[in-house]
Amino acid sequence: MCSIGWCIDSDQDIEKKAVNLIKVNWEKLKNTNHAEQKILLLSVALELDEQWSFVGNKSNQRWLWLALNHYNSEVLAYTFGDRTDEAYNRLKQLLRPFNITKYFTDGLGAYQRLLPYELHEEGK
């Protein structure tokens, strides 16, 4: 079974590792300035894609922009709009909480223009 950023082979793996979990140091936590803390909860590789449908007739297109977890295809964010950089930027804002390590996309120009080159891999 895979989840965001990690995989396990069975329930036995969970049980084996559970005894090795580090407990919270409550004294340290009480003396921490929480306003200055930033915790990275997960890293994820994304597949970005878009698909369209129409309302009434084909000239009235509606685009669905999706961000999927690359490892298990879980939908992490989506937005609706047209096929423009502005619509992609709305999706990008929804992805801010994630520590994105890689973007997998098709050849859409918005991805080429707006994604960091070193994190972008273009396919099909």
Structural domains in the chain? 2-36 (no CATH), 43-122 (3.30.420)
Could you tell me the mean pLDDT of each successive run of 10 residues in the chain, 124 residues long?
41 44 58 62 85 93 93 91 93 89 94 93 86
Residue 43: its pLDDT value, please?
Answer: 74
CA torsion sign for 46, 47, 48, 50 is: negative
3-class DSSP state of 119: helix
